[in-house]
């Protein structure tokens, strides 16, 4: 009797248990299911940047700390990089001139940042936040910036060069430029007092023609090693060169006969370099972790020092060597900054116009120019 009774009660105990489990499992499921699944780091990170664009020990330190190998690939110019991105090549991290960011955003080839993985983004100075080419910094993080200036043989040129327009008046034989459309056309515009971001066809045409008047003086810089025009300048291959902060530092070491100046005509021309993550990447999470690493104050400082570039990282200031902070080539003072102008992206029509003029400029200047040095 007892045995048979328990058979029935067994059945009911089972039912009871089932119901209870069903009810309570609702809660359990919610709790454990939704704990954030930490993504995994990839084995290798593919970085696309300038040759010698980043100190190797920074990359090694990253590999040591995170166990991610770095595959550093180089481009010669932003144009080459953009071409490859548009062609669908896969990279995880890319250094890109800020004026290319807008069009790539529009083309949808950039990935949107997940700032949950880049908390160090708060270190970016207010100057570089929420700029109109990428409102809210959804796709790009400005990393370095600086002025574009001129490095010249102060012993050979007198009076000293102060503005872009001085290039037309000074007694110079050759001026070194690089194949950078915006820089060259920009200085042309500024020499006439226009904005380097102007899309006015008349202004552009005027700038183009103004540049052409120096056709015989333009020479193109090469892939020097180290990558600076200072040595060539010291060798008198040319007397003036469009130069950046790094060049001025090397020049200072070489001697006293070279001078660096940031023309403020039409507002000092500032360049900005951003870090972006291509939409075609192996692992966005790994890229973000790397970028977060780069945004550490000391890392940003080390990077800036290596390239003699100003960092957008506010918190890095205390780690940057005093000599840099006081070097106007690296960290220009307010007199230069106020009214300065960052080279920014153009509208598609404006871009087309620039490209057209630039191509004509190249055709006009490159074949006839002998590469000296």
Partner 1 sequence: MSTPRPSPFRSRITLKRRLLALLASVLLVLLILVSAGIFVFVRQTEHIAWEGRQDEASRYAQDTISVFFREVENDLGFASTLSPLLFQGDSAMSQNLVYFPVMKEVIYLDENGAILGSTSSDEPVLANQFTIAQSEWFNIAKSGRRYIGNVQVSSQDVPYMIMAIPTPTGVLATRLDVSKLWTVVQGITFGDKGQAYLLSEDGTIIAHNNLDLVLARTRVPEDSEINKGLNILSVWRGEYDNLRGERVLGVVRSVAGTPWTVVTEIPVDEARATSRMALQLLVGGLLAFAVIILFAGYRLLNQFIFNPVNNLRVGAQKIGEGVLTHQIPLSNQDEIGQVTEAFNTMVNSLREREDLLVKQSDELADTNEKLIEASRLKDEFLSTMSHELRTPLNAILGYSGILLMGIGGQMDEKAQTHVKSIERSGDRLLKLINDILDIAKIEAGRMKLVMQPTSVQKMAKDWYERVDVLIQNKNLQYSESIDPAMPEFIMADTEQLAHIANNLLSNAIKFTSEGRIELTVKRHGENWQLEVSDSGVGIPPEAQEYIFDEFRQVDGSYSRSHGGTGLGLAIVKKLAMAMGGNVNVTSKPGVGSIFTVTLPLQIPTPNAVPVSIEVAK
Per rule CB under 8 A, count of chain residues that contact partner 1:
48
Among 38, 64, 132, 223, indicate the residue that binds partner 1 (CB under 8 A): 132
Residue 114 is encoded by which pair of tokens?
Answer: 């997940």
Which CB, 24 or 323, lies closer to partner 1? Answer: 24
Whole-number Å distance between alpha carbons of 274 and 343 = 12
Residue 342 sits in the site that holds partner 1 (CB under 8 A): yes
Q: Does 201 bind partner 1 (CB under 8 A)?
A: no
- C-alpha distance from residue 249 to each of 219, 243, 253, 283, 308 (Å): 22, 11, 6, 37, 8
DSSP state string for 203-249: HHHHHHHHHHTTTTTEEE----SSS-SHHHHHTTS-SEEEE-HHHHH
Residue nearer to partner 1 on the CB measure, 77 or 340: 340
Residue 49 Cα to chain centre, angstroms: 9
2 contributes a contact to partner 1 by CB under 8 A:
no
- Centre a 10 Å sphere on the Cβ of residue 46 and count the other Cβ atoms it contains: 22
CA distances from 57 to 53, 83, 252, 309 (A): 12, 29, 25, 17
| CB closer to partner 1, 184 vs 315 | 315
C-alpha to C-alpha distance for 61 and 334, rounded to whole angstroms: 35
Indicate whether 131 belongs to the interface with partner 1 (CB under 8 A). yes
Out of 52, 173, 179, 341, the residue judged to bind partner 1 by CB under 8 A: 341
Residues 28-67: x/- map of binding to partner 1 (CB under 8 A)? --x--xx-x-------------------------------
Q: Give the range of 27-35, 174-182, 202-210, 275-283 binding partner 1 by CB under 8 A.
A: 27-35
Residue 179 or 314 with smaller CB distance to partner 1: 314
Q: Which residues contact 194 (CB under 8 A, 6 or more apart)?
A: 200, 203, 206, 207, 266
Tell me the per-residue interface mask from 97 to 116 with partner 1, x by CB under 8 A, - otherwise: -----------------xxx
Which parts of this chain interact with partner 1 (CB under 8 A)?
Answer: 1, 4-5, 8-9, 11-12, 15-16, 19-20, 23-24, 26-27, 30, 33-34, 36, 114-116, 119, 122-133, 135-136, 313-315, 334, 337-342, 344
């Amino acid at each position: 009797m007892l045995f048979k009774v328990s058979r029935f009660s067994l059945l009911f105990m089972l039912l009871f248990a089932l119901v209870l489990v069903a009810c309570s499992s609702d809660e359990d499921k919610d709790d454990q299911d939704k704990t954030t699944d930490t993504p995994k780091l990839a084995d290798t990170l593919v970085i696309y940047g300038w040759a010698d664009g980043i100190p190797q020990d920074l990359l090694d330190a990253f590999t040591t700390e995170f166990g991610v190998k770095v595959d550093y690939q180089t481009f010669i110019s932003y144009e080459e990089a953009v071409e490859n991105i548009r062609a669908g090549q896969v990279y995880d991290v890319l250094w890109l001139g800020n004026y290319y960011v807008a069009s790539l955003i529009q083309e949808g080839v950039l990935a949107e940042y997940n700032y949950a993985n880049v908390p160090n983004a708060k270190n970016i100075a207010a100057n570089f936040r929420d700029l109109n080419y990428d409102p809210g910094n959804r796709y790009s993080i400005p990393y370095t910036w600086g002025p574009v200036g001129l490095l010249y043989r102060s012993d050979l040129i007198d009076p000293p060069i102060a503005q872009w327009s001085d290039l037309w008046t000074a007694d110079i034989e050759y001026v070194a430029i690089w194949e950078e459309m915006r820089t060259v056309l920009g200085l042309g515009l500024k020499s006439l007092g226009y904005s380097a971001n102007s899309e006015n066809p008349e202004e552009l045409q005027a700038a183009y023609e103004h540049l052409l008047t120096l056709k015989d003086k333009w020479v193109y810089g090469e892939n020097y090693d180290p990558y600076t025009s200072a040595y060539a300048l010291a060798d008198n291959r040319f007397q003036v060169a469009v130069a950046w902060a790094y060049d001025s530092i090397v020049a200072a070491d070489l001697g006293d006969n070279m001078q660096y100046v940031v023309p403020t005509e039409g507002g000092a021309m500032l360049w900005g370099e951003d870090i972006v993550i291509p939409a075609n990447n192996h692992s966005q999470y790994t890229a973000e972790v790397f970028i977060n690493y780069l945004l550490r104050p000391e890392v940003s400082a080390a990077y800036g020092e290596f390239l003699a570039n100003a960092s957008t990282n506010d918190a890095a200031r205390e780690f940057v060597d005093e000599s840099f902070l006081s070097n106007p080539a690296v960290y220009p003072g307010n007199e230069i900054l106020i009214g300065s102008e960052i080279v920014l992206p153009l509208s598609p029509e404006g871009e087309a116009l620039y490209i057209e003029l630039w191509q004509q400029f190249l055709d006009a200047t490159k074949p006839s120019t002998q590469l000296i040095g």
